[in-house]
Amino acid sequence: MLEYKPSDCLPCAEELPDSDDTPVDNELQDLIPSLLKAVLALLWEKRWDWFFGVDMAIYYHAKEPAIVPDGFLSVGVQRFIDEDLRLSYVVWEEQVVPMLVLEVVSHKRRGEYSSKKKIYREMGVLYYVVYNPLRRRKAPLEVYKLVDGEYQLQFGNPVWLSEIGLGIGRERGTYQGMTREWLYWYDEQGQRILTPEEQIAHERQIAQQERQRAKLLEERLRSLGVDPDPL
């Protein structure tokens, strides 16, 4: 007798659309999650148990359409499944619900404070992050944590995400030559994690300082009548 497995009847990633074909409203909806992903790729370069999706479809129920957040992080999944990478994120294949979802609000709201929030809560997404740079009277960044089935607003900047081992917050900085407020990852002491661009600049600065010290030492030795070349 054949054993019936309900999961065998569910569509796989290759059979599902990989997006909702809805263009982003502005560049920030792509740049902000892409910056967070780039920092993780450097910080967690030796870890293979995480995946960060940008503008990728999440299929969470076989009878519901996909939801496409601006960014999301899953921990406990394969970082790469093969050389063709993921077409979409299918929860019943991954067996892991995203731990964090990010929505960037533009002039045209897309249910970030209502319908999407309800869906992520029902999915069991632990952290729901909403960034609205257009807000003036309320905090632009809101981080919600799922506690006993309900989202509770977390306070602080940055907000420490203990299950992820990182904090998330906002501050002014420069990314791809653009200076404005961005979202960043932070360590437990509240220190911002450098972006790849900043890390390269930092290493160049250290190398330049080493060259300057070597040059000063060489000049000092020559002034004392010591030839530094044979050393």
Q: Are 86 and 13 in contact (CB under 8 A)?
A: yes
Q: 41 by DSSP, 3-state: which?
A: helix
Question: What is the per-residue pLDDT for 164?
Answer: 97
Question: What is the per-residue pLDDT for 44?
Answer: 97
What CA–CA distance (Å, rounded) separates 74 from 38? Answer: 15
Question: What is the per-residue pLDDT for 57?
Answer: 96
What CA–CA distance (Å, rounded) separates 74 from 189? Answer: 23
What CA–CA distance (Å, rounded) separates 60 from 65? Answer: 8
Question: What is the per-residue pLDDT for 1?
Answer: 41
What CA–CA distance (Å, rounded) separates 212 from 231? Answer: 17
Question: What is the per-residue pLDDT for 25?
Answer: 64
Distance of CA 123 to the CA centre of its chain: 19
Q: For each successive 10 residues of the chain (231 residues), what is the average pLDDT?
A: 51 55 72 97 96 96 93 96 89 96 85 92 97 89 97 97 98 93 97 90 69 73 73 51
Question: What is the DSSP annotation of 121-182?
Answer: HHHT-SEEEEE-TT-SSS-SEEEEEEETTEEEEE-SSSEEETTTTEEEEEEEEEETTEEEEE
Question: What is the per-residue pLDDT for 207?
Answer: 65
Question: What is the per-residue pLDDT for 108?
Answer: 72
> Model pTM?
0.80
DSSP state of 46: T
Instruction: State both tokens at 161.
Output: 């995400």
